[in-house]
Structure 1
Amino acid sequence: QAEAEAPAPEEEKPAMTAEERESILSAAAAAARPFTAADTAVTSATKPEFGDYQCNAALSLAKSLGLPPRKVAESISEALGPRLAGVFDDVEIAGPGFVNLRFTDEYLSDAAGLMDSDKDRLGVPPSSDPDRVVVDYSSPNIAKEMHVGHLRSTIIGDTLSNLLEFAGHDVLRLNHVGDWGTQFGMLVEHLRDEYPAALDPETSGGRRPRRPGRAVQGRQEAVRRRRRLQGPEQGGRRPPPGGRRPGPIGVGVALRREPAGVPEDIRRPRHRGSQREGRELLQPVPGRGRVRPGGHGTRRRERGGHGRLPRRLREPGRQSPPHARAEERRGVQLRHDRPRRDPAAGPDGKGGRGEGADRVLYVTDAGQSQHFEMVFAAARKSGFAPDETRLEHVPFGLVQGEDGKKFATRSGDTVRLRDLLDEATRIAGEDMLSRRPDGDGSDSLSDDEADVARTVGIGAVKYADLSMNRESNYRFSYGRMLSLNGNTAPYMLYAYARICGIVRRATGQEEGTPVVWPEPAGRIVVSDDTERQLIRNLVKLPDVLGEVEADLFPNRLCDYLFETSQLFNKFYEKCSVNNAETPELRASRLSLCAVTASTIRLLMGILGIPVVEKL
């Protein structure tokens, strides 16, 4: 009877599979995680037929909600419809759950009209919360002549600085001047002895004296000449031989950097790398000991190990960069001299010696990435750089020779930057002569035409570099850099000059006079699909500028410029301006021409390339 009354044993439940456990854990984690702006997954449409923007949030939300992606997309569409009325057409669902958004013609008309009424900024507002941004770039060895490999840091840094200034930020451009030692001392002393006129910027004319050989210099003489330069390098006021700082010799006259369109404030370098500033950075940091130099070739082993950051300086899970180490009681020690100079361009968390920057950009080649990882880690741990300050290395690939090797001034196979710019100007001038009307017997350019040829040639060199992904290496080629077709500066300059000609003819202005842009049309009329596609591209200008400001890839500006020029050509081939059907449509198309020209002028200016009204 007891056995009969005993409860029956429970049936054993099957074990949960790994897939089931993973599904439950993923759903719980997704439900616990807050929905952020990044989860909205709104991007520009990959193809015009998909509209202007895509929202892919349904795909990521479906898993946590336990619903099919398309069902989630339908819910998103129903919620967005009333909110987006007047800006986008009916929300469209495509594929497994993509939400496509397309601007209405009314919104495009209003947006283009706003851009037309503000030709300087094209309706792009400045930042409401501007930052103090320091951009450290260029910084060539002023004791050597610049070659084409020096071009990248200068023009990339200049472009990013221009963009950040347009966005409304307070930008400080820094140009380190180094190598004031034996090399430069020997050069200046040689110039004093053999070419005294070369020290005078008004009479030198950028001539290149014969390079002296080291064999003729005795060691004691070299040391003596180096000491004559130590005063300025260490922060003193005594000028080097020649009675002035060496900057104008290397950066102003002998290197001829002005033709590349670099601003005046960067051509007059700030001596940010002085020994005196370096010593100021080595003062004790409260609670963290002293940051101090280790000197070149130091082999002392200390707690924390040689060539490695101690645990408190290392990022979790990452190997520490070499050439920096610390003592447990004395703080961070940087083995090389350069790391203690680089923080001089950065922010100062204690408000005394730095630039007080919110964001610091170092534009150097990718080979220095590890160096800056070390500098940033030391600056964070020492408290020199506050956590809220953004320290960013902007790496770029190398300009390589035809053999695929890095350009180096000691190799003897480099292309001088001066020669490259002169050759670019020559090719542009020959192209202008070849396109002269038949019967014009002149075989030379006028002064105005020579200026245009220089703008086109140098612009072609800069644009060819900026149009590439900055992180990529590329092989130097005259043909590619100086091409006057395709996605190049001459193509963009021609597009701008063509629009100027269209406006001149439509408004009865004389050839050769500065263009007077027409008054904004009362309303932009969208009567053809080519007009629609052009405006859809133009109104995305704020998005493009914002993306480049965030990720610092100038080639996206070039891609956008090229696409804008192509869409304008399609519009002009399909839609007549002078012979428009109605006066209202004619005024509208003239305004569309003006907005396109203003967009090209603005972005070419950010790239550091002036536009020309006749080509």
Structure 2
Amino acid sequence: MEVVSEGTMFSLLDRLKQQAAQAVCERFGIEREVAESALLFTRSKHADLQTVGALSLAKRCKCSPQEIGKAIQGALEKEEVVLRFELTDRGFLNLWIRSEWLATYAHRALSLRLLGAGQCVVVDYSSPNVAKPMHIAHIRSTILGDAIKRVFQAVGYRVIADNHLGDWGTQFGKLIVAYKKWVNLDAFQANPVQELLRLYVLFSEEEKKQQQSQKGGQVFRHSSDEEEDASPSPLLQEARAELVKLQRGDEQNRALWSLFLEASRRELDKMYQRLGVQFDITLGESFYRDQLASTVEALVQKGLAVEDQGAIIVPLERESTVGEKLPPLLIRKADGGFLYSTTDIATLLYRMEQWNPTWILYVTDERQQLHFKQLFATAKQLGISANLEHIWFGLMRLPEGTISTRQGHLISLEALLDEAEERAFQVACECNPELTEAEAREVARVVGIGAVKYNNLSKDRQTLLTFTWDKALALSGNTAPYLQYAYARTRSILRKAEQQGLSPGAISNLAPMEHELLLRLLWFPIIVEEVAKTVKPHLLCEYLFEVALLFSTFYKQMHVLKAEPQLRGSRLALIDLVSRVLKKGLDLLGIAVLERM
């Protein structure tokens, strides 16, 4: 991929900004940096480009926005790329670009700048707990992380995609107890992960019964996987004892743990393959278990961790702000046990040693915001140089409430994908009865999975999602199937042209609708860069939907194959560019396309 200079929307916007800033500095005597930061040219529904910087600079320049706007317009009137200007009463400056410039540089629509050249970014995503089936809530981290990986690769970063599996910890003590007490071996043989889920839910139900019972006036509490319970139920005491045996290398418990892990990995691999998601490395929590004691010791030796009532904590007062006081990070319990926080520190140190990344991105839900603030504050005290960022997303809920594995309130990811493909299959058969069943199934696979992915990616990741089947599997409107269909239509037109011996020519003589469409296509690299900077893939979804809508309007209003030769070649070239932008954009989202639908 080339390093882009002249002949792109990047270079045009930068040139306009520089010229406008220079004019304002010379006329009003303000700092160049201040002028440049204010005078940004952006898209507008009122014009090709717009800058509202005159409004923000008026007070500093001690003049009206109109005066600043006139100074900018005077400087830009020499710019041959600009066809005309419009200065509004509020000092907003609207610009229209010459169609000839757009046409000349249409071939640069897919050219991206290499922002990350020579830099490494680690993306930590998906990371489900093993011995449980993936459910619909897992898809947010998995799909978001995959799109983030693809976008960062596109802008030149070396990306390490790490699936940090939850394959060690308290839940295995619970599962071992449940397996020894209640396993149905036939069910385990047929579907091991589903049987493990049944056992996990059964353990939680039995523990809850003990919670509700009383012995000597003591009410037992229901525990979370990492909760330090001062009065654990008898069942939880058994689980902790089995966990200690596992951690100390008990042969039977290690064999069960390996059995659970192997079965889970097989199921996970099937889901990832179905989703088209690939990782560069899969290192679960168990990989770091032998490093936890030395990690704690190193923090103590550096004076960063101290003992507190038998436990080891990292005080974080120095990293607290006026608005937020960070509680200390617990890294070893009083009984000597380690926590997720300990594993995360060991993982961070390993990643720095192995890859020396510029960035590490953690893609998890919003509930872990405090944990990552504590982790990042600890990393700062350790002198870790990488930029650490928590790419958090809103929770996914069911209409009846929170998704909970413990209570069995979940919809499996497999069931979601099955339903998506089945609904897409019914639509494919109705719309294209000439398709064979195999062809319809392939269309359904691509369309169904695309619909599920896009449903998650098209919303701002920080919003709460309430899952409903109709929303998750929608096939019309701002959806992947709509974009996939737009792409398939472009391919159909280009195939028909080829069959008639016609081919794309030079883009020229643009009608207003064509001008608008080409301008949007040339904006593609800017959108991709914005997604990389904000880590918000929904911006790319919004852009692609706009392109598809513009293409649909263009195709309805303009003759293509029946147009006169020069216009026909130009319009075929424009359609070819639409096709390539849609395909590349959907690929960055991890969504496949079809040549025929």
Structure 1 and Structure 2 fold alike (TM over 0.5): yes
1:413 maps onto 2:409 in alignment: yes
CA contact (8 A) 2:162 2:282 kept: no
Q: 2:420 aligns with which of 408, 424, 430?
A: 424
Amino acid at match of 2:327: P
Q: Using the TM superposition, give the Cα deviation of residue 519 of structure 1 relative to its aligned residue in structure 2, in angstroms.
A: 6.4
Q: 2:538 aligns with which of 555, 568, 592?
A: 555
Aligned to 1:314: 320
Rounded to whole Å, the distance in 2 between the matches of 1:285 and 1:226 is 25
Aligned to 2:584: 602
| Distance of aligned partners of 1:539 and 1:341 in 2 relative to their CA distance in 1, 3 Å threshold | same
1:368 maps onto 2:368 in alignment: yes
| Distance of aligned partners of 1:282 and 1:459 in 2 relative to their CA distance in 1, 3 Å threshold | same
Aligned to 1:473: 464
| Distance of aligned partners of 1:275 and 1:538 in 2 relative to their CA distance in 1, 3 Å threshold | same
Rounded to whole Å, the distance in 1 between the matches of 2:580 and 2:268 is 36
Q: Using the TM superposition, give the Cα deviation of residue 604 of structure 1 relative to its aligned residue in structure 2, in angstroms.
A: 1.0
1:537 maps onto 2:520 in alignment: yes
Structure 1 residues 524-556: Cα deviation after superposition (integer angstroms, max 9, x where no partner): 114311111110100000110111101111111
Over the matched positions of the two proteins, sequence identity in percent amounts to 29
Aligned to 1:20: none
Q: Using the TM superposition, give the Cα deviation of residue 378 of structure 1 relative to its aligned residue in structure 2, in angstroms.
A: 1.5
Stretch of structure 1 that moved more, 122-131 or 427-436: 122-131
CA contact (8 A) 2:100 2:508 kept: no
CA contact (8 A) 2:164 2:282 kept: no
Aligned to 1:65: 61
CA contact (8 A) 2:392 2:462 kept: yes
Structure 1 residues 7-30: Cα deviation after superposition (integer angstroms, max 9, x where no partner): xxxxxxxxxxxxxxxxxxxxxxx9
Aligned to 1:25: none
Q: 1:454 aligns with which of 445, 461, 474?
A: 445
Amino acid at match of 2:550: L
1:248-327 correspondence runs (5 A): 248-253=262-267, 256-258=270-272, 260-265=274-279, 268-271=282-285, 274-284=288-298, 288-291=302-305, 299=309, 309-310=316-317, 312-315=318-321, 317-324=322-329
Rounded to whole Å, the distance in 1 between the matches of 2:259 and 2:279 is 16
1:146-225 correspondence runs (5 A): 146-180=134-168, 181-185=172-176, 194-195=185-186, 198=189, 211-212=198-199, 213-214=202-203
List alignment gaps of at least 5 residues for structure 1: 1-29, 116-121, 327-333, 510-515
- TM-score normalised per structure 2: 0.79
Q: Using the TM superposition, give the Cα deviation of residue 238 of structure 1 relative to its aligned residue in structure 2, in angstroms.
A: 12
Structure 1 residues 321-374: Cα deviation after superposition (integer angstroms, max 9, x where no partner): 224389xxxxxxx997222322344467xx973531111111111121111111
Rounded to whole Å, the distance in 1 between the matches of 2:152 and 2:513 is 32
Rounded to whole Å, the distance in 1 between the matches of 2:316 and 2:428 is 59
Rounded to whole Å, the distance in 1 between the matches of 2:355 and 2:530 is 26
| Distance of aligned partners of 1:232 and 1:138 in 2 relative to their CA distance in 1, 3 Å threshold | farther
List alignment gaps of at least 5 residues for structure 2: 1-27, 208-233
Structure 1 residues 403-449: Cα deviation after superposition (integer angstroms, max 9, x where no partner): 3x321112333211111111111111111112234xx6x9xx52232
| Distance of aligned partners of 1:218 and 1:111 in 2 relative to their CA distance in 1, 3 Å threshold | same
Q: Using the TM superposition, give the Cα deviation of residue 88 of structure 1 relative to its aligned residue in structure 2, in angstroms.
A: 2.5
Structure number with greater Rg is 1
Q: Using the TM superposition, give the Cα deviation of residue 97 of structure 1 relative to its aligned residue in structure 2, in angstroms.
A: 1.3
3-state SS in 1 of match to 2:137? helix
Structure 1 residues 565-605: Cα deviation after superposition (integer angstroms, max 9, x where no partner): 000011111112211112x3222211111111111111111
Rounded to whole Å, the distance in 2 between the matches of 1:232 and 1:467 is 46
Aligned to 2:390: 393
3-state SS in 2 of match to 1:249? helix
- TM-score normalised per structure 1: 0.77
Flag the structure with higher helix content: 2
| Distance of aligned partners of 1:90 and 1:352 in 2 relative to their CA distance in 1, 3 Å threshold | closer
CA contact (8 A) 2:417 2:448 kept: yes
Equivalences, count: 533
Rounded to whole Å, the distance in 2 between the matches of 1:189 and 1:507 is 67
Aligned to 1:42: 40
3-state SS in 1 of match to 2:508? coil
| Distance of aligned partners of 1:325 and 1:43 in 2 relative to their CA distance in 1, 3 Å threshold | farther
Rounded to whole Å, the distance in 2 between the matches of 1:560 and 1:529 is 19
Q: Using the TM superposition, give the Cα deviation of residue 239 of structure 1 relative to its aligned residue in structure 2, in angstroms.
A: 11
Aligned to 2:20: none
1:371-382 correspondence runs (5 A): 371-382=371-382
